[in-house]
Amino acid sequence: MFKSLFSSIKSSNSTGVTIVSPISGKAVHLEEVPDPAFSQKLVGEGIAIIPEEGKVVSPINGEVALIFPTKHAVGLVSEEGIEILIHIGIDTVSMEGEGFKTHVKQGDKVKVGDLLIEFSLDLVKEKATSTTTPIVITNFDRINHLELAPFESVKIKESTIMKIDIKP
């Protein structure tokens, strides 16, 4: 009885953010990403997806903070101030933008489901170390609690991949 009372008090003082899947594919633990910066969570905490198709959409309502010049990654800031990095594949920076097409620019406002980047999945498979795509929260110091989705198939714009409780 007291536990539910205290949990309702806690949730009324904090802000929750839901992150939907920006890509269709199989969700995996960050520890499975073949890059120590992500697998050791040096960049941030989150999840990775092995993509089934070459589309990335916005997982949140917010703003485009950064599009990498090589178009292989995008940084977003949610309306609540959560910073999200979506990094398409591993060692894709060496592709120098080949096979990537951006649909947004820095400063653009985005809504859940807005198309951010299209990429050639076949070309990434051919030229990069891995297609595994980390989706990480880079300002984890703002997070009170993070709940990750089950590690299974996820659908673009539909599946919830993270639920975040922001520190008050």
Q: Is 87 a catalytic residue?
A: yes
Triad 55, 59, 61: Cα angle to 5°: 125
Residue 11 CA to residue 22 CA, distance in Å, equals: 26
Burial class (CB in 10 A: 0-12, 13-18, 19+), 78: buried
HSE at residue 17, side-chain half, CA atoms within 13 A, is 25
Pick the catalytic residue: 29, 72, 87, 145? 87
| Residue with the two structure tokens 């599009």 | 67
Catalytic machinery residues: 87
